[in-house]
Structure 1
């Protein structure tokens, strides 16, 4: 089985059937785009560690964080195929993600009240529709994700107890989130 065949099989039988659309899009734009045509028509088991390292080194020169992400996703795909005995072995499994690139850094910047006020005023002054203005202001007040609010239904808003309950189906981490509804809203 070639790398392309392995990636296609993994994507069709695992990624597209199990993972969320946004995760599918992420895999499509990284590992599928970058590795699908690597080593064309060669069995994945015939590719040496050095050949993988050379390929990943080139990727690392272009974008260190993406190189690590691509390696991690590629290892997942190869491992998935190995567990199903589609591939006996693959040298990529002896390469660790920490051997390449760098971790994506988590930002720690927080907007000041002055910056938040500027954004709030810009929203109010914009020519956007009232519903879009309110949407963005609510996102600022709650710190919610756009999809959580966009997918919200009336039943999620308890106006007696002033609580908005985001169901697990709409939250990124797959858990229920309860947010207060402010009287000013």
Structure 2
């Protein structure tokens, strides 16, 4: 039956045909059967009408059959090319079946990126950084190269991802390039490729103009007035208390928003932040001034006194960073929440005699010089307690806030 159909379409006959089939025949044949082409390649047509390529081949002395894919997806020319490559590899002692399985085991860039993300999960500084790794790749990279196997990603592909954002969004583009590189390094380590295409494109991209953008801050003389305006606003109580504590303790937003009641000793007036929530990766103690303690007692009265100090509207979730940012903007101030740390630092430099190391410790900054850091064992708790009292008193004086809680000085 198959031979009759082959003759009817003009296909060559013979015991060992070579290129016996035609593209037209492959496209139009509907009769069930096996149609030989050459090099062990044949087209199998099922009763249902589906067609697929199969190759009979001898691999290390054993005759076997390999599937080469659906005829609707793999053209006659592609099937012939693959069959010839398989035959050459088998004659050289190789194993085309093993090579095929290994090729199929190679992950796509999307799959590899998610695997790398999973592997690095224990090392992320916080959930936000972990999410950003994937979100930037999902936005800028996956649409272009997500479905490509990591073995097939070229420098041209990486260039196509980066060029549209390289000058328009330089910081984002640099992070995307770095994250693509991280995925590719993992692919190299797995033996799937020999090079990292993200490292080979520096000369192909234009030079970026680096702009140092500092977070906008208020002059320290206006911070007290800001607190007065904020306290008189209709914002939520937890939001106002959290932002005031950010200012009074010169903390990062996340350090306050994620604070847990277990971290506070109100009797000793000390807030101990765990290492996993600190940018430095080290535990950090914060001296609490009178108003800071009063804020915490107000927060405790509003909540349960357990778990998150400043819960958000969703049960079990903290206030979002955008909640604090939105409050600042709605009050008419074009500044960043993080900028209040700058206000504190500038005030400490210009209005106090406090040593630089003390104000840096108050900001939980890391000593960058390794030799200096090796000897910097003190957290200056006593001096920082005095400095934070001065900061609070300055804000009260500027704001005419009446603070009813006393200014005790618990021991360090």
In structure 2, distance between residues paired with 1:153 and 1:42: 44
In structure 2, distance between residues paired with 1:53 and 1:132: 44
| In the alignment, structure 1 residue 79 sits paired with structure 2 residue 147 | no
Moved more, 168-177 or 44-53: 44-53
Instruction: Give the RMSD, CA atoms, in angstroms.
Output: 2.9
Q: Structure 1 unaligned runs (5+)?
A: none
In structure 1, distance between residues paired with 2:187 and 2:257: 37
Cα offset, 1:88, TM superposition: 4.0
Larger Rg: 2
| In the alignment, structure 1 residue 24 sits paired with structure 2 residue 147 | no
| In the alignment, structure 1 residue 112 sits paired with structure 2 residue 225 | no
In structure 2, distance between residues paired with 1:30 and 1:61: 16
**1:156 aligns with one of 263, 269, 283:** 263
Q: Structure 2 unaligned runs (5+)?
A: 1-105, 293-412
**1:91 aligns with one of 197, 205, 209:** 197
Instruction: Name the residue aligned to 2:145.
Output: 39
TM value normalised by structure 1: 0.78
Higher RCO, 1 vs 2 (CA within 8 Å, ≥6 residues apart): 1
In structure 2, distance between residues paired with 1:49 and 1:58: 15
Instruction: Name the residue aligned to 2:350.
Output: none
TM value normalised by structure 2: 0.39
Would you say the 8 A contact 2:145–2:157 is kept in 1? no
Query: Tell me, what secondary structure is at the counterpart of 2:179?
Result: helix
In structure 1, distance between residues paired with 2:233 and 2:171: 36
Structure showing the higher strand proportion among its residues: 2
Instruction: Name the residue aligned to 1:56.
Output: 162
In structure 1, distance between residues paired with 2:153 and 2:238: 55
Structure showing the higher helix proportion among its residues: 1
Tell me how many residue pairs correspond in the alignment. 183
Moved more, 175-184 or 129-138: 129-138
Query: Tell me, what secondary structure is at the counterpart of 1:72?
Result: helix
Cα offset, 1:106, TM superposition: 5.0
Instruction: Name the residue aligned to 1:174.
Output: 281
